[in-house]
Structure 1
Amino acid sequence: MPVRNPASSSVGFRTLTSCAAAVIVLWGVRQLSSVIAPAFLALTLTIAVSPLRDRLKGWAAAFVPLTVILLVLCALGGAVVVAAARFAGLVPQYADQYRRLLSSAGRVLHDIGVDRSQIRKALSGVDPDRLVQAAQSLLSGLTGTVSAVLITVLVLYGMSLDAAVLQRATGALTTERPGLVTALRGFARDTCAYLMVCTVFGLIVALLDTAVLALLGVPLPLLWGLLSFITNYIPNVGFIIGLAPPAVLALLDSGVATMLWVIAAYCVLNFLIQSVVQPKYAGRSARLSTTVTMLSLLVWTWALGALGAVLAVPLSSFARAVLLDADPTTAWASPFVAGHDERSGEKPR
């Protein structure tokens, strides 16, 4: 009669318990997403300006980084509101082109053998007026972010005042909890590096996209350049999200040829930079493998919505620091998350 190994049974039970706990925690995070998402955004921004805070003393260490963050948020928010207002005023002009495009699509489908009744049934659910309604409701939808902005600013203010105290408290734990302190400091360092990489590549992509769209005559090139910059923080699939609106607008404004040029330009510029070059630097700076990064995008988008997609990598880096790196009994799993063995010095390929 085979003898059961108690150790393997214990490992299996712990794995099953950990998975169940993760599901429960993620469900709770989703229920509290309206608070957790802006709070973690505030934490990420506070960490992003930590190199500036380290160079300052006294009250300046608290208020100068906070002022920098608020100025950047105000600039981005103002640009988004102005661009969205222009977009909402522009889209209704293309309602007739949208109807003609649907009619042309119906004729093409009929020519290749699709029954007219099936075409009418398929197009009956595509109401051209919805395009106009969506544009008109865009600005009103922005008001729904006011609560998230307020939470972010309030938490930012508190974290800026407490940053120096928390830094000293963390240093005092070095003797008692060296693993936790090392993990948290690694998370802060990785987050700063990741945000720096994404910001630099995002600016490059935004400038190139804006220039190409302006040359092609696509309306609102600055808006789509701003969208490219923001979606650059969404790993791997960000350029697809940034491509769809200017491609559709190019189709409505100038026709199929311009749309194809926009798609080609985005595929060459954005795919090459965002999906080939940048992940090698972003993944290495965040110490997350490509597979983990993709899964992070799916999980955190489900749990926290659009903001979860932007914060997917910092969120997973934080989870790795707390759940794996801080505990010697689980540190063995870190190479599987990072995609390489850091202890051996092997770099990700």
Structure 2
Amino acid sequence: MPDDREPPARSVIPRESLLILTCAGALVAAVGLRAFSGIIAPLILALVLVVAVQPIRDYAVRRGVPEWLATSTTLLAVYAIVAGFGLALLVAAGRFATLLAEYEPQFQELVADVGDLLESWGIGSVQVREMINAIDLGSVVGIATDLIGGVAGAFTSIFFIVVLLFFVATDAGAFASKLRRVPESGSRTAEAFGRFAQGTRSYLVVSTLFGLVVAFVDVVALYALDIRDPWLWGMLAFLTNYIPNIGFVVGLVPPTIIALLDHGWGTALAVIIVYCAVNFVLQTLVQPRVVGNTVGLSGSLTFLSLIFWATLFGGIGAILAIPLTLFVKAVFVDVSPDRGWIGPLLSSHSGSAPSEGRVT
């Protein structure tokens, strides 16, 4: 005899209440991430770096290299990347501070000229003199080097990052196979993390290629304008290219100030025009389209993710804004078929679904 009893009614949370709870939970999570950013940010950096060089390990293992040797090679490659990135930024900051110290007379003359100009515009001499007395080269050096040092600070916890890299690289090889052995939901999770890894690698490849092009154009322009140490500023432009949308501003500050103190307003304006033109053509028009096609994120989402992750994690958040967004997408969107409709909303594609992690 069939059971005519109705199944017990499930409690349904009203949609408005669910939205409020979701927003509250997201806010609490963001506050928690910000509070523990000193631990979480290096961990994320280690994860992304290992993901970036994991194909080296996989290729070596397929060629018959022992796993311990392949893992060690991968780890050394990551250590070299971290050391090179951090050292380059510190060298740029140190050299910039040294150069500015040599321009103390030119700086004081420039400040006096600006004061005379303001007085000619009718601004009171007392206010102008107070402003001039408050300005010194040390404060300018501090502001400029803080911009570079803020990015370099992402790599200062060297010991912590080194230890994290060791454990992450050691476990990375077996992680995917463990996920695949988990039935159904585990396989979908493995696919989502696979797309995250592939998208992260593709994004880093695209950013590296565009960074090289941007650095080359900037170096040629700085040579033509007779700016000191053009290769150093080109290297800085290459490194800051990994920061979406606003990274070029960090690379623009040192050569512009050097041009101003060495050659005057005209050359400084020329440097600004060159950097802005390169940024507009390559980093605003071309690169976001390529990145969007590669990882499936819209330009507006890229910019918002930069602000969000930089607020939470500082310099590391700015550098890893795209990989972090891809990770969140993999964890909260790609693993669940019920949330598949969210993917197209995040994508830069207006029609078909974006290619997952393919370099176009």
TM-score (norm 2): 0.86
Q: How does 1:1-349 map to 2 (within 5 A)?
A: 10-57=14-61, 58-131=67-140, 148-173=157-182, 175-340=184-349, 344-345=352-353
Q: Evaluate the alpha carbon distance shift between residue 18 and residue 339 of structure 1 in structure 2; reply closer, same or farther with a 3 A threshold.
A: farther
- Give CA-to-partner distance per residue, 1:20-55, whole Å, 9 cap, x none: 111111111111111111111111111111222221
Secondary structure at the aligned position of 2:85 is classed as helix
Q: Which runs of 5+ in 2 are unaligned?
A: 1-9, 62-66, 356-360
RMSD: 2.8
Quick one: structure 1 residues 144 and 268, their matched pair in 2 at CA, closer, same or farther if it must change by over 3 Å? closer
Question: Contact 1:183 / 1:326 at 8 angstroms: preserved in 2?
Answer: yes
Q: CA deviation at 1:312?
A: 0.7
Go from structure 1 to structure 2 and tell me whether the alpha carbon gap of 1:277 and 1:247 turns closer, same or farther (over 3 Å shift): same
- 183-192 or 89-98, which deviates more: 89-98
Shift of 1:299: 0.8
More displaced, 10-19 or 309-318? Answer: 10-19
Moved over 4 A (4+): 6-9, 132-147
Cα 1:56–1:209, aligned 2, differ >3 Å: closer, same or farther? Answer: same
CA distance in 2, matches of 1:175, 1:235: 36
- Which residue in 1 is equivalent to 2:7? none
- For the 8 Å contact 1:179–1:328, the answer to whether it is kept is no
Residue by residue over 1:285-335, the C-alpha shift from the partner in whole angstroms, topping out at 9 and shown as x without a partner, is 222111111111111111111121111111111111111121223222222
Q: Structure 1 pair 194/243, CA: closer, same or farther in 2 (3 Å)? A: same
2:245 is paired with a residue of what secondary structure?
A: coil
CA distance in structure 2 between the partners assigned to 1:338 and 1:146 by the alignment: 31
Structure 1 residues 320, 145: CA separation in 2 closer, same or farther (over 3 Å shift)?
closer
Tell me the secondary structure at the aligned position of residue 315 of structure 1: helix
User: In the aligned structure 1, how far is the partner of 2:251 from the partner of 2:91?
Assistant: 18
Identity over aligned pairs, percent: 36
The residue matched to 2:73 in structure 1 has which SS?
helix
- Does the 8 Å contact 1:218/1:250 carry over to 2? yes
Normalised TM-score (structure 1): 0.88
1:126 and 1:7 map into 2 onto residues whose CA distance is 65
Q: Write the distance in 2 (CA, Å) between the matches of 1:137 and 1:51.
A: 35
Which structure 1 residue ranges, 5 or more long, are not aligned? Answer: 1-5
Q: 2:147, 2:250 within 8 Å by CA — same for their partners in 1?
A: no
Encode CA deviations 1:65-118: one digit per residue, 9 max, x unaligned. Answer: 212222233333333344433333221111222221121112212222222233
* CA shift for structure 1 position 235: 1.0
Distance 2:340 2:148 in 1: 47
SS at 2:14 equivalent: helix
**Structure 1 residues 136 and 300 mapped into 2: Cα distance closer, same or farther (>3 Å)?**
closer
Structure 2 counterpart of 1:46, one-letter code: V
Cα deviation, 1:113-167, whole Å, max 9, x if unaligned, reads: 2222332344443233423566899999999667522222211111111111112
Per the alignment, do residues 178 and 49 of structure 1 end up closer, same or farther by CA in structure 2, a change over 3 Å counting?
Answer: same
The 8 Å contact of residues 292 and 348 in structure 2, kept in 1 or not, is answered as no
Q: Which moved more, 1:331-340 or 1:138-147?
A: 138-147
* CA contact 2:144–2:254 (8 Å) conserved in 1: no
Q: Separation in 2 of the partners of 1:138 and 1:47? A: 28
How far off its partner does 1:59 sit? 2.0
* Helix, strand or coil at the partner of 1:86: helix
SS of equivalent residue, structure 2 residue 337 = coil
2:300 counterpart SS class = helix
CA distance in 1: counterparts of 2:274 and 2:110, whole angstroms: 23
Report if aligned partners of 1:87, 1:220 keep a CA contact under 8 Å in 2.
no
**AA partner of residue 171 (structure 1):** R
Contact 1:62/1:163 (<8 A) preserved: no
Give the letter aligned to residue 186 of structure 1: R
Residue 203 of structure 1: how far off its partner (Å):
1.2
